[in-house]
Amino acid sequence: MHTHYVVCNIVNHHNRPMSISKTRQLLVDVARQLFAKNGLESTTMNDIAQASGKGRRTLYTYFKSKEDIYYAVIETELERLSEKLDEVAARKISPQDKVIELIYTHLSMIRETVVRNGNLRAEFFRNIWMVEKVRKHFDLAEVELFRKVFTEGKEDGEFDIENVNLVADITHYCIKGLEVPYIYGRIAHGMKEEDTKPQVAKFVYGALGKHRV
């Protein structure tokens, strides 16, 4: 507990009033650390209040329950992933390469997020319905990202796609279905990313209707 309290004091070391957004983010960050260390079930609202140094009244001002702050933690983690995907989509690379980079970025970021959250990682699977509820907006945003990339590739003559929306949906759900086996290392076990990318690219390019020259 003392470590978390020290961290909070460092964040606000001049004792200036924190803005609403910073206070909320602090509570979310502290909650994530406690969830990761002790698990969701073993962490109480009182634990979060004490570790943040903000008190129960402040905590309940922002979050009605532990489930609310858990949703906020997952949402924040998904925002990290979404920002990374946006960075990939903005790169000056071909639509074909962009699709592969989006796929690998999605999977590697999901794995990194689950691994770095310690005991919280079990909740990603035990409470999958909770995670699904929170990630709905992320999923829609990712589908839209693929629509844009596929449209760009179609207009450039790189992809032979009749229905961009359908292909974007299928791509998203295929990647989503790979998350758990990828996290557990059940896909391409023992292989490095540079070894798998050419094979994945060949498969994806073929599915998009045009082989890479």
- pLDDT on residue 39: 85
Q: Are 85 and 145 in contact (CB under 8 A)?
A: yes
Containing H/E element for 169? Answer: helix 164-183
- pLDDT on residue 69: 94
Instruction: Please enumerate, as own/partner, the contacts of 144-149 that have beta carbons within 8 Å and a separation of 24 or more.
Output: 144/168, 145/85, 145/86, 145/89, 145/102, 146/99, 146/102, 146/171, 146/172, 148/89, 149/89, 149/95, 149/98, 149/99, 149/102
- pLDDT on residue 14: 39
Encode 16-28: b = buried (16+ Cβ within 10 Å), e = exposed.
eebeeeebbbbbb
Longest CA span, the chain: 62
The secondary structure of residue 186, as a DSSP letter, is -
Q: How far apart are CA 99 and CA 107, in angstroms?
A: 13
- Is 0.75 surpassed by the pTM of this model? yes
HSE at residue 23, side-chain half, CA atoms within 13 A, is 17
- pLDDT on residue 170: 95
Which residues, 6 or more positions from 183, have their beta carbon under 8 angstroms from its beta carbon? 110, 111, 114, 115
Q: What value, to the nearest 5°, has the Cα angle with vertex 180 and ends 110 and 91? A: 35
pLDDT in tens, the chain (213 residues): 433 433 333 334 334 445 568 899 999 999 999 998 888 889 999 999 999 999 999 999 999 999 899 889 988 988 989 999 999 999 999 999 999 999 999 999 988 888 887 766 666 556 666 777 788 889 999 999 999 999 999 999 999 999 999 999 999 999 998 888 888 888 877 788 888 888 888 888 888 876 454
The secondary structure of residue 120, as a DSSP letter, is G
- pLDDT on residue 191: 80
Q: How far apart are CA 130 and CA 85, in angstroms?
A: 23
- pLDDT on residue 83: 94
